[in-house]
Amino acid sequence: MSDSKDLFWSLLEPEYLGANMFCRKLIGDREQGDDLFQDALVAACVGFPQLRDHAAFRPWFYRIMVNTFRSQTRRPWWKRFVPLTSEIELNLPGDNPVDVLAARHWLSRAFKALSAEDQALVTLYELEDWTIAELAHLYDKTEGAIKLRLFRARRKMRDRLLSFSRQSKSQKTTGSPEGN
């Protein structure tokens, strides 16, 4: 049992920082990302004895992180946060995505158009520089299928950004007092 634990932590060590960063980027918030990382680590620690091929530790661990994230986003309606209305969101600071904070803010808006699985896929590909082959292995899909999912995800995000942009413009032209 102790050997299994030691092996788990030794396999985790090279992935530790990258995995923690992945969780932070996926959630778009440092504290919540760390919480997600902790939950995923607990799940991985419990499930590690069932992993037969230790060479596949990396995709196995990332799969656990993605599943943990997905189960957190699938909370029942009474536990979900009430989303901000688009009017409130449009009045938040950071309309120009030039710095990291603003980019994360806009990214979290665009991510709302995607499922939890697709958010993880885009994060791994665009922010963590995973290759299509690695993603295909993680998601157990063909490379073509992964490319298609990425393309569709980008299109959904782009459309979401466009709709925000249209709302913002129409609000400015109607001269709402909050927008000024």
Partner 1 sequence: MRCREAQLRLAESRRTESAAPADNELLAHLSECPDCARLAEAAGMLNQMFEAAAVNDTLNVVPISERKHTVETEVALRKRKHVPAATIGLPRRRRMGVGIAVAIAVLAILSVIPFGYDRIVGYDVAFAGVDKNLATDDHMICDMLFALGLVEAAVDVKGCDSTCCLHIIDLKSSNEVHLVVTALNVMNPDDLSTEIIPLTVKSSRSLLHQAGEKIFGARPNGA
The residues that touch partner 1, with contacts defined as CB under 8 A, are 5, 9, 12-13, 16-17, 20-21, 24-25, 28, 30, 34, 38, 41-42, 45-46, 97-100, 102-104, 106-107, 110, 126-129, 151, 154, 157-159, 161-162, 165
143-174 vs 132-139: helix axis angle to the nearest 10? 100
Q: Which amino acid is located at 5 in the chain? A: K
Q: Are 62 and 19 in contact (CB under 8 A)?
A: yes
Phi, psi of 75 (to 5 degrees): -65, 150
Smallest distance, partner 1 to C-beta of residue 28, A: 8
Q: Are 118 and 157 in contact (CB under 8 A)?
A: no
Rank residues 137 and 147 by Cβ distance to partner 1 and give the closer one: 147
Smallest distance, partner 1 to C-beta of residue 85, A: 22
Smallest distance, partner 1 to C-beta of residue 29, A: 10
**Residue matched to tokens 């901000």:** 84
Rank residues 5 and 80 by Cβ distance to partner 1 and give the closer one: 5
Rank residues 129 and 178 by Cβ distance to partner 1 and give the closer one: 129
Smallest distance, partner 1 to C-beta of residue 18, A: 9
Rank residues 21 and 136 by Cβ distance to partner 1 and give the closer one: 21
Report the C-alpha gap between 89 and 51 in whole angstroms.
43
**Residue matched to tokens 């993880």:** 120
